[in-house]
């Protein structure tokens, strides 16, 4: 579990205190220091700072302003200031479940998973029906590699809120790690049913379908993810690779070229395109891709074997045999793997 995988829920603190008693200030004085979805983090930081430093806020409104500003700092990537604000908000009001949730999310991004779990646990103690806190605690357990406990939290979150798409998606990810592909597939499908714009769930379901040979369904999932997020390279990777192993070489290469626009000189993207070139018989193009990878990563096993195979097909026996032998020394079954995908 990486930091990139940490996706705390948007607006998860709104119910905790945006509906609290009225602010002491007038709306004009509050400005954008609210939970308004139209408020940008920059505007929230500016106006909440004015509330915090103005000296006129009631104790309740000061807590709310600190919490909103803490969340805004987190959204702009300033986790240190976010923690300062959320720590202070909790010191002023230890019953603030939303602040505990937000601080848990910040700890999670910093990979301080035990601290995140403690905060989410307190949020759940304060509000046992806070399904999103359980779902996010599951994410923290997953970050620690405790996938059984993560699945238990996601399952409880789903029991409380059967429409919480993120809990289905995260449970699917945890089940994938445990090689429970059938139930993972069901979870991703439910996440998509609840949220038809769930890009990550389409990609994950596509990965399962591709791995089980359901290539047309996988391609459909990746295509939907691309439609929703055309600048995200993840689905381009999946569709390029799936089309290549399915034998749709022209479409695969078109996808690989789009992927390279998003990830110029990325070794993984070059390996995938190299395979597509190799399988389609474009040997010089395959060699160019594999050489580009091996200049930066001389022991990349897929690039070594792919380059060796291309050299052998061009009847450059000595160079080809050397690369193939080097690849097999790293991964003895590499030839069988390439053969499964249609390259011998």
Q: Looking at the domain assignment, is residue 295 inside a domain?
A: yes
Same domain, residue pair 308 and 199: no
Mean pLDDT of the chain: 91
What mean pLDDT is predicted for residues 274-300? Answer: 97
Which pLDDT score, from 0 to 100, does residue 11 have? 36
Which residue, 250, 275, 302, sits at the end of a domain?
250
Instruction: Check whether residue 24 and residue 127 sit in a common domain.
Output: yes
Cα separation, 204 vs 292, whole angstroms: 29
Mean pLDDT for the stretch of residues 179-199: 98
Q: Which residues contact 217 (CB under 8 A, 6 or more apart)?
A: 206, 209
Whether residue 258 is contained in a domain is answered as: no
- Asked whether the predicted pLDDT for residue 279 surpasses 50, the reply is yes
Residue 24 has pLDDT above 80, yes or no: no
Q: Which residues contact 227 (CB under 8 A, 6 or more apart)?
A: none
Q: What is the CATH number of the domain that holds 96?
A: 1.25.40.10
Q: Say if residue 244 is in the same domain as residue 271.
A: no
Question: How is residue 282 annotated by DSSP?
Answer: -
In 3D space, the residue among 51, 133, 72 whose CA is nearest the CA of residue 100 turns out to be 133
Q: For residue 137, give Cα distances in angstroms to 114, 119, 279.
A: 10, 9, 44
What's the structural domain count of the chain? 2
Picking from 73, 98, 94, 93, the residue whose alpha carbon sits closest to that of residue 18 is 98
Q: Could you tell me how far CA 226 lies from the centroid of its own chain?
A: 15
Distance CA 6, CA 106 (A): 10
Question: Considering only CA atoms, which of 331, 338, 267, 340 is closest in space to residue 309?
Answer: 338
Query: Within this chain, do residues 169 and 30 fall inside the same structural domain, yes or no?
Result: yes
135 and 279 share one domain = no
Measured distance CA(102)–CA(90) in Å, rounded: 11
Task: Specify whether 94 is located in the same domain as 235.
Answer: yes
Predicted local distance difference test score (pLDDT) of residue 110: 94
The rounded distance, in Å, linking the Cα atoms of 225 and 157 is 26
> Would you say residue 104 has pLDDT above 60?
yes
Task: Mark whether 270 and 146 lie in a shared domain.
Answer: no
Q: Quick one: 344 and 211 in the same domain?
A: no
The residues near 84 (Cβ < 8 Å, ≥ 6 apart) are: 70
Residue 169's pLDDT band (boundaries 50, 70, 90)? very high
Is pLDDT of 274 > 80? yes
Confidence of residue 56 (pLDDT cuts 50, 70, 90): confident
Which domain range does residue 298 map to? 265-344
Asked if the structure places residue 279 within a domain, the reply is: yes
What CA–CA distance (Å, rounded) separates 17 from 108?
Answer: 22
Check whether residue 77 and residue 193 sit in a common domain: yes
Model confidence pTM above 0.95 = no
Answer whether residue 332 is part of any domain: yes
**Distance (Å, whole) CA 11 – CA 102:** 10
The phi and psi torsions of 193 (rounded to 5 degrees) equal -60, -40
Digit-coded pLDDT (tens) for 229-240 = 999 999 999 999
């Amino acid at each position: 579990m990486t930091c990139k995988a940490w996706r705390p829920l948007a607006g998860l603190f709104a119910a905790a205190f945006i509906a609290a008693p009225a602010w002491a200030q007038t709306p004009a004085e509050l400005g954008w220091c609210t939970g308004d979805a139209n408020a940008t983090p920059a505007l929230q930081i500016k106006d909440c700072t004015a509330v915090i430093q103005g000296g006129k806020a009631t104790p309740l409104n000061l807590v709310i302003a600190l919490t909103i500003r803490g969340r805004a700092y987190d959204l702009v990537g300033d986790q240190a200031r976010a923690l300062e604000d959320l720590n202070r908000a909790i010191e002023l009001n230890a019953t603030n479940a939303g602040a505990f949730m937000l601080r848990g999310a910040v700890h999670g991004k910093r990979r301080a998973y035990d601290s995140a779990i403690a905060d989410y646990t307190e949020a759940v103690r304060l509000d046992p029906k806070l399904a999103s806190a359980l779902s996010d605690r599951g994410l923290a357990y997953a970050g620690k590699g405790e996938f059984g406990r993560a699945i238990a939290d996601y399952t409880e979150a789903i029991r409380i809120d059967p429409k919480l798409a993120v809990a289905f998606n995260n449970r699917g990810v945890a089940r994938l790690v445990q090689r429970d592909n059938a139930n993972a597939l069901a979870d991703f499908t439910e996440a998509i049913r609840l949220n038809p714009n769930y890009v990550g769930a389409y990609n994950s379901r596509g990965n399962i379908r591709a791995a089980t040979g359901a290539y047309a369904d996988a391609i459909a999932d990746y295509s939907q993810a691309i439609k929703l997020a055309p600048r995200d390279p993840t689905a381009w990777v999946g569709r390029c690779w799936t089309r290549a192993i399915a034998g749709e070489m022209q479409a695969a290469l078109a996808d690989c070229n789009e992927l390279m626009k998003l990830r110029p000189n990325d070794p993984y993207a070059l390996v995938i395109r190299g395979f597509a070139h190799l399988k389609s018989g474009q040997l010089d193009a395959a060699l160019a891709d594999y050489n580009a990878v091996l200049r930066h990563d001389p022991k990349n096993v897929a690039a070594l074997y792919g380059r060796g195979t291309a050299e052998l097909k061009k009847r450059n026996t000595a160079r080809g045999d050397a690369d193939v032998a080097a690849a097999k020394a790293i991964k003895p079954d590499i030839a069988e793997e390439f053969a499964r995908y249609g390259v011998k």
